[in-house]
Structure 1
Amino acid sequence: MSMLHKALAGLALAILPFGASAAEIKWDMANEYNDTSIHAEGDRLFSSKLAEMTGGAIEITHHFGGSIGFKSKDQLDAVGDGALPIANTYVGPLGGIDPMFLLPSLPFLAKTADEARRLLDVARADYEAIFAANNQKLLWASPWPPSGIWAKKPVDSDAAITNLKIRTYDANGTITLQQAGAAPIQLSWADVVPQLSTGGIEAVLTSAEGGTNAKFWEHLSHFTEVNYAMPLNMVHINLDTWNDLSAEHQAAVLEAAKAAEDYVWEKVEARVAQNYTDMKAAGMTVVTGVSDDYLAALNAAGNKAREEWLAKTGAKGEAILQAFNN
């Protein structure tokens, strides 16, 4: 290269925005859920915003559908150990590590987006402390639409749920549905469709969103709306990765994270209506308006899960629930 070309190249680099030296930082971001999910949309917004704000210095490669080899239950350790720099994780399966991760899915506690976000805000500092203790930083948290029951029939009565082989997503759901008379089994998302295909399960506790993303209508015919819970995904980054960032890049990550969190919370309620439209177009029957008696029975079945959670979290859990309810 001639001296003139070297000088021009140096000048071009000097006038680029900070960090714009073509992806000087590259992250692989894990997410067990489908690339059409509302959480995948949040991830893509985050990476797009971050690339824009850093002039392309931070580049994220998304790995949806568990394609990088980690399930949600594995991702806390993977990010803490540095096997992954960043991940979007459904936190319910992490309840064995810390019971706080089961707070968002306590049955019939937070049934609307406003309630779920208020519960998050009450407990956010506790979540941040847990991630910090595991060599990570919490960037944002976002909800799933309310959980219902996907099955081959309406599940709108005690008789319909009795002995039903149903997938649950965490310990709360397993305890609750067992108390309701079902035959629950906790499965990671990646294992649900294979189990439906082989007849290992005949129903799924999840949102209209989750089932729509996975095209459950290829296996099931009904969705019963019960508004069981609005569980959370959380995005967390390895603390060493975070600390290696410049102050400017850290500020950009936080701003992009806030944009992603706000986006998902803003979109989640409208998403249900779109899911129902898509489900009906695919031939699904959406069952709404189930009886108050049945909902009361499901709520009562959740008492054991709520009591066990309080026994594990003690005064901290009581304080969180009191702050949420006041």
Structure 2
Amino acid sequence: MNFKATLAGAAIGLLAAGASAETLVLVNADTIGSPMDLMNAHFAELIEERSNGEIDVNYISGNQLGTPPQVMDQMSAGSLDALGTAAAWLSAYAPDTQILTWGFTFRDGAHMQNFFASELFDELVTDMRETGRIRVLSAGPTEPRIAFLTQPLGEDGSFEGRKMRIPQIPSYLALWKALGAQPTQVAWSEVYLAMSTGVVDGAEGPPTAAVAQRFHEVAKNIYLTDHVWATSTILINEDKFNSMSPEHQAIVEQAAKDSTQWAYEDATARREEVLAQMEAAGATINEYDATRLQEIAREAVAEMEAQGLWRKGLFDAVQQQ
């Protein structure tokens, strides 16, 4: 056997393998250890495992590259490949998806899953894909959002006059105004400080994400309002996706679908455990009759559509999914 020839052949084989591999830059714009961070890590693991290492995922965790909309801008420009975050942020490029964060739009997780799988949802994000160069690989529900208050609500359960932290999404602002609150925009990472110093009277969010931010330590009055379903989505730059082989595209798409489903199952499994953890730390968990809030939100739909928050008739169309 020609040993030198064998070594040369092995070296060429390694170079060929290296040349066939590709890198996917995946970003997390949420807190390390948050549900979205865990989902992204799961997504990266599935891709590398199922591609037998042919796709190397460079996972950048934490929010060092900015907020989800800022990361989406970088992804649209092609400087980043993929992002896993809450589907609420799709509204930065697909305004009609603000319907996702309107109160009591979805009956349950199954209703939201049907919506994400529908032609209607695909229609809402077409421009984002074709013009913004951002493709939705997968999206799904995680869990209902609840309210955290520094002081208890009155017997009527009204949020009238309460300064509530909300994210920088117009539909959230409109919803909490309709509910009588004073919505205040504060970065998610700064909510604990804002509640502890009185900048806001409370916040709302999914419990499995809020527990990592320790909301329950400064806002011990917790109300199970279930007013909006929290979500997850995994996005990829359209040009990056189109540059992949059909085999790699299929791997990435299926890994994304499996990962958003994993996020849903994980949040569902941990929700009661997290609420018990908050209660053990001194918080009070309050059941909440949301009937009046549902009525207020439904009555405001026509006004929201007239203002162009989302297109006319979309709320009713979503109800049919």
* Change in 2 beyond 3 A, CA 1:83/1:307: farther
**Structure 1 residue aligned with 2:301:** 306
Please give the per-residue CA displacement for 1:102-158, whole angstroms capped at 9, x wherever unaligned: 122221121421222123223331244133131121111132311111112333644
TM-score after normalising by structure 2: 0.86
* Change in 2 beyond 3 A, CA 1:309/1:27: farther
What amino acid is the match of 2:123?
D
Q: Is the 8 A contact 1:25 1:59 kept in 2?
A: yes
Q: Does residue 95 in structure 1 map to residue 97 in structure 2?
A: no
Q: Distance in 2 between matches of 1:74 and 1:83?
A: 12
Q: Does residue 152 in structure 1 map to residue 150 in structure 2?
A: yes
Q: Distance in 1 between matches of 2:157 and 2:267?
A: 32
Q: Distance in 2 between matches of 1:304 and 1:98?
A: 24
**Structure 1 residue aligned with 2:79:** 83
CA shift, 1:77, in A, is 2.0
* Change in 2 beyond 3 A, CA 1:215/1:64: farther
What amino acid is the match of 2:270?
R
Q: Distance in 2 between matches of 1:178 and 1:215?
A: 26
CA shift, 1:96, in A, is 5.7
**Structure 2 residue aligned with 1:317:** 314
**Structure 2 residue aligned with 1:140:** 138
What amino acid is the match of 1:74?
Q
Please give the per-residue CA displacement for 1:33-88, whole angstroms capped at 9, x wherever unaligned: 23333332221221111101212122223333312x22123233221111321112
Q: Is the 8 A contact 2:147 2:223 kept in 1?
A: yes
* Change in 2 beyond 3 A, CA 1:53/1:264: same
Q: Does residue 233 in structure 1 map to residue 232 in structure 2?
A: yes
Q: Which runs of 5+ in 1 are unaligned?
A: 15-19
* Change in 2 beyond 3 A, CA 1:132/1:248: same
CA shift, 1:280, in A, is 1.9
Q: Which runs of 5+ in 2 are unaligned?
A: none
**Structure 2 residue aligned with 1:30:** 27
What amino acid is the match of 1:84?
L
User: Secondary structure of 1:130's match?
Assistant: helix
Q: Is the 8 A contact 1:175 1:304 kept in 2?
A: no
**Structure 2 residue aligned with 1:222:** 221
Q: Provide the alpha-carbon RMSD of the alignment.
A: 2.8
User: Secondary structure of 1:145's match?
Assistant: strand
CA shift, 1:251, in A, is 1.5
**Structure 1 residue aligned with 2:126:** 129
Q: Is the 8 A contact 2:29 2:71 kept in 1?
A: no
Q: Distance in 2 between matches of 1:307 and 1:318?
A: 9
Q: Distance in 2 between matches of 1:53 and 1:265?
A: 21
Once the two structures are superposed, the pairs formed by residues 1-326 of structure 1 within 5 Å of their partners are 2-11=4-13, 21=18, 24-67=21-64, 69-95=65-91, 97-122=93-118, 123-133=120-130, 134-155=132-153, 157-158=155-156, 161-169=159-167, 170-288=169-287, 290-291=288-289, 295-303=290-298, 306-311=301-306, 312=308, 313-314=310-311, 317=314, 320-324=317-321
Q: Distance in 2 between matches of 1:200 and 1:113?
A: 33
Q: Distance in 2 between matches of 1:305 and 1:245?
A: 45
Q: Distance in 2 between matches of 1:108 and 1:302?
A: 7
What amino acid is the match of 1:78?
Q
What amino acid is the match of 1:192?
V
Q: Distance in 2 between matches of 1:10 and 1:184?
A: 62
TM-score after normalising by structure 1: 0.84
* Change in 2 beyond 3 A, CA 1:309/1:24: farther
Q: What is the count of residue pairs matched by the alignment?
A: 314
CA shift, 1:261, in A, is 2.3
CA shift, 1:212, in A, is 0.9
Q: Is the 8 A contact 1:111 1:146 kept in 2?
A: no
* Change in 2 beyond 3 A, CA 1:166/1:318: closer
Q: Distance in 2 between matches of 1:76 and 1:308?
A: 29
Q: Distance in 2 between matches of 1:36 and 1:110?
A: 27
Which range is displaced more, 93-102 or 129-138?
93-102
User: Secondary structure of 2:74's match?
Assistant: helix
